Amino acid sequence: MLGRSSFSRSGSFRPENLGQNALAMIGNLCFTLFVLGVVIFTIIAATYQPEDPLFHPSTKITNFLVSDSNATFMSDNTVAKTGEDLVPFNQTDLTGVLNVTDVSVTAPAKEDTVECEGDINTPIDCKDPDIFHLMMTYAIEYFKDIHFYRFGKPVAGSNSTTCDMAWRFRPKDGKAAGFYKDYRRFVILRSENCNFTVTGVGEYHTGVNARKKKRNQKGGFEKNKPGKGNTAIAALPVFGEDVNDALPVVESEGSFRRGKYLIYSGGGDRCKNMNHYLWSLLCALGEAQYLNRTLVMDLTICLSSIYTSSNQDEEGKDFRFYFDFEHLKESASVLDQNQFWTDWTKWQKKDHMGLHLVEDFRVTPVKLSDVKDSLIMRKFGSVEPDNYWYRVCEGETESVIQRPWHLIWKSKRLMEIVSEITSKMNWDFDSVHVERGEKAKNTQLWPNLASDTSPESLMSSLRDKIEDGRNLYIATNEPETSFFDPLKDKYTTHFLDDYKGLWDENSEWYSETTKLNGGNPVDFDGYMRVSVDTEVFLRGKKQIETFNDLTSDCKDGVYTCSAST
């Protein structure tokens, strides 16, 4: 029996059976590999969460992220780039800069019949063309580091010897898009022979009587009509104007009934970093424009723990704290989600308004273009990353939906702080970014960073780069600014916290954000801090980087210089 059994098994290994056995083994091996691949793919799909959607291969986002600056702030902890960053510098370098000669030619002169009474106590007539000419000439000669583009008519100041005047300007060496507005109080004296002299000018925004009055707008729901392919870049921002970011409202039942709406609901985008948030929001805005619909927005943001002092995600932040909602609502058709659902509940049943529900991000905007229902709701599930809003704009949709970057600008309230800080340095300063923190402690990845950013090394590195006596703005994550005290022997140093009065409880920023927040004070959080710090840094005449200029270490650790520089 044993011999017969052995003979029976060996029969299967006869030469004529080898090909069949080989095919069977190959088939079994392929099936095993297939099963193993399915298991691995399932595990990855269930656990994968990309760090940032900006690693998306789209050439559009790649081009967008190419900065004019080589700033070395951490990519996940810096201010998100927005629409005004897309405007090429040559488009902002507009003609129309006013010089002293321009003012002299255009300034009206007094009539010869006017006699000098010699009374030096007579109140200054701020409407006098000669006074206007004098103030313009003084401003152009006094503020040497800015270009003036427009002056407002002077108005009476706080007493008989002061006049307030506003102007629009750009820093001479500025590379950022947009204009700034300032208004200052001038002290003007009259001599006995009736000659006028400007004896002083106030600090930034002291000429409050020349400030433009607040506009009374209802929110502009009717006037904004989205359109397909509307990608024209709107007017450049002007920082320093009053902000009107009241929520849009639907003025009547009829206008609500005629409207077409799009809303994104749920998903895994909350509490991600700002770059992720914008990448997804702009997908929704792009689809709304393509479908010629009003986007219903949730204006509350969950701030990622990377920006909070509690190191926990924080809900309830207002979109308007971080971005320019006034520009958005004037450039596109948007509604606040809370207001929309109130109106929907009120009128939907009465007017038989339909809702079209979409629960698969692979349903493309093209397939929704013929939907007649009043509301299209995209509902996203709980499994990441398939529940990210930006998935709607991937694949074939990428050639159809153009993200309208021009709709999103930075908060004018934050940029107002940036403008005031730079104005206090008369727009004449150099800047250095000193990154330390956890990187400086990790000597395995950054072996030289701690020593290369010590005060002694900084003095040596900056010696040939920045002249002695210059205003030096230091943007840093070093918690103790006293660490940099040795630099005070050569430079006038400035830090973000030197200007914390611009956001404390007595500031205009504090007052306005408290009103936006229903009377509750708003924390000047980590994202706001890094936004202001970065924007001031980028306005320095000379900008010294940590990893490009101060140390030979690689930004992302050893052996990564070619990938990170």
Of 375, 409, 443, the one marking the end of a domain is 409
pLDDT at 349: 86
In angstroms, the Cα distances linking 177 to 145, 236, 416, 539 are: 17, 7, 14, 11
The verdict on residue 83 lying in a domain is no
pLDDT at 175: 77
* Other Cβ atoms within 10 Å of 454 Cβ, number: 16
3-state secondary structure of 310: coil
The verdict on residue 14 lying in a domain is no
Contact of 541 with 173, CB cutoff 8 Å: yes
Q: How far apart are CA 359 and CA 3, in angstroms?
A: 67
Question: CB-based contacts of 312: which residues, under 8 Å, 6+ apart?
Answer: 305
The verdict on residue 73 lying in a domain is no
Question: CB-based contacts of 109: which residues, under 8 Å, 6+ apart?
Answer: 129, 130
Angle at 417 between CA 416 and CA 418, to 5 degrees: 90
Query: Is the full-model pTM beyond 0.85?
Result: no
The H-or-E segment that residue 188 falls in is: strand 179-190
Q: Which of 213, 206, 168 is nearest to 184 (CA)?
A: 206
In the block, tokens 């005629």 appear at 258
pLDDT at 223: 38
The verdict on residue 537 lying in a domain is yes
Q: Tell me: do 385 and 424 sit in the same domain.
A: no
Burial class (CB in 10 A: 0-12, 13-18, 19+), 445: middle
Q: Tell me: do 467 and 385 sit in the same domain.
A: no
Q: Tell me: do 476 and 494 sit in the same domain.
A: yes
pLDDT at 307: 94
Question: CB-based contacts of 132: which residues, under 8 Å, 6+ apart?
Answer: 107, 151, 153, 154, 165
pLDDT at 251: 81
The verdict on residue 249 lying in a domain is yes
Of 409, 427, 444, the one marking the end of a domain is 409
* Other Cβ atoms within 10 Å of 292 Cβ, number: 15
- Tell me which residue range forms the domain holding 280: 242-409
The verdict on residue 380 lying in a domain is yes
Whether omega before 455 lies within 30 degrees of 0, making that bond cis, reads no
Per-residue pLDDT of the chain (565 residues; tens, 9 = 90+): 444 444 344 444 455 555 566 666 666 666 676 666 665 655 544 444 443 333 343 444 434 333 333 344 444 556 788 888 877 655 556 568 888 888 864 444 444 445 555 566 788 999 999 999 999 999 999 999 999 999 999 999 999 999 999 999 999 887 777 899 999 999 999 887 778 999 999 999 999 999 876 554 443 333 344 444 344 345 788 888 889 999 998 888 889 999 999 999 999 999 999 999 999 999 999 999 999 999 999 999 999 999 999 999 999 999 999 999 999 999 999 999 999 999 999 998 888 899 999 999 999 999 999 999 999 999 999 999 999 999 999 999 999 998 999 999 999 999 999 999 999 999 999 999 999 988 999 999 999 999 999 999 999 999 999 999 999 999 999 999 999 999 999 999 999 999 999 999 999 999 999 999 999 999 999 999 999 999 999 999 999 999 989 999 998 899 888 755 4
Q: Tell me: do 509 and 463 sit in the same domain.
A: yes
pLDDT at 242: 86
What CATH number should be reported for the domain holding residue 536?
3.40.50
In angstroms, the Cα distances linking 59 to 50, 65, 232, 264, 414 are: 18, 10, 19, 25, 30
Q: Tell me: do 289 and 333 sit in the same domain.
A: yes
Q: Tell me: do 246 and 188 sit in the same domain.
A: no
pLDDT at 102: 82
Q: Tell me: do 372 and 481 sit in the same domain.
A: no
Q: Tell me: do 280 and 393 sit in the same domain.
A: yes
Q: Tell me: do 379 and 249 sit in the same domain.
A: yes
Number of domains in the chain: 3
Q: Tell me: do 525 and 495 sit in the same domain.
A: yes
Q: Tell me: do 345 and 432 sit in the same domain.
A: no
Of 210, 230, 257, the one marking the end of a domain is 210
pLDDT digits (tens, 9 = 90+) for 160-170: 999 999 999 99
The verdict on residue 173 lying in a domain is yes
The verdict on residue 389 lying in a domain is yes
Q: Tell me: do 404 and 425 sit in the same domain.
A: no
- CA dihedral over 465, 467, 468, 473, signed as positive or negative: negative
Q: Which residues of 46-58 are buried (b: 16+ CB within 10 A; e: fewer)?
A: eeeeeeebbebeb
